[in-house]
Structure 1
């Protein structure tokens, strides 16, 4: 149980680290350029989705979705809360300084990229036949395809 929560916390901190890097890039390089800030933010959300796709691809190979999906959802929600509530302080702002529209658009963007990234990772694993169910069915088919040992009577 402790390892499970550690994995959730590490994934959430990794997603938050992506946000921290993006915010530092914006703060140091594009502080007054709104277009560049928006582009860096979209790239950040894309990287978050890609990170979740990779985590999903890896986890779906060894575990059933009922085991990894709740953990990944908890990590994504925790990462989103850190990104939205703590992240703005890195930029020198507050969480609600951009207004309600900015706050909720971050929630929708984060949620959308997280869902699409997770689905993409699972679809790739399934398409390649590397997900848990495909591997289990393949192992079952191989075990049934082999002929039983022939008993020799003397």
Structure 2
């Protein structure tokens, strides 16, 4: 179990850490300027998507696609729940102080950009032919091609 869930939990922790760093920057650098807060928040969301690109690329090389989608999807959702429910305490506010609508928007933006980043990483992986299935096919072709020919009996 450790070999399967440790990488996914590290991904979730890394994505949550990006959100925490952004919230601390907003708290100490932006003050009450709404434009700066929004800009920093958007950059943090783009950073989450950008982080998912190499993670999906790395993870997709080693595992079948169904496992990649499940593990990275679960990691993104867990990181998002932590960012939405625990993250506001770092900023000094309660999670639902601005309303439930904001929580749902944050959730959808976080998961959406995580998914977009993962899709870009997996598309790059498949384009290069380095994904798990392409490598399996390549090994199969090499194995079948090296067998000696069967003699024909008459």
Return the TM-score normalized by structure 2: 0.90
Structure 2 alignment gaps of length 5 or more: none
Residue number in structure 1 paired with 2:63 = 63
Residue number in structure 2 paired with 1:89 = 89
Residue number in structure 1 paired with 2:134 = 134
Moved more, 116-125 or 131-140: 131-140
Residue number in structure 2 paired with 1:98 = 98
Residue number in structure 1 paired with 2:143 = 143
Separation (CA, whole Å) in 1 of partners of 2:39 and 2:130: 34
CA RMSD of aligned residues (A): 1.8
Separation (CA, whole Å) in 1 of partners of 2:100 and 2:114: 21
Separation (CA, whole Å) in 2 of partners of 1:68 and 1:134: 15
Partner of 2:86: helix, strand, or coil?
A: helix
Residue number in structure 1 paired with 2:116 = 116
Residue number in structure 2 paired with 1:48 = 48
Separation (CA, whole Å) in 1 of partners of 2:142 and 2:64: 20
Give 1:143 deviation, angstroms. 2.7
Q: What CA deviation, in whole Å up to 9, does each residue of 1:112-133 have, x standing for no partner?
A: 1011111111101001111111
Give 1:147 deviation, angstroms. 6.0
Moved more, 65-74 or 141-150: 141-150
Give 1:141 deviation, angstroms. 2.1
Separation (CA, whole Å) in 2 of partners of 1:146 and 1:6: 38
Structure 1 alignment gaps of length 5 or more: none
Q: What CA deviation, in whole Å up to 9, does each residue of 1:24-66 have, x standing for no partner?
A: 1111111211111111111111111122221110011111012
Separation (CA, whole Å) in 1 of partners of 2:147 and 2:79: 51
Alignment size in residue pairs: 151
Give 1:149 deviation, angstroms. 7.9
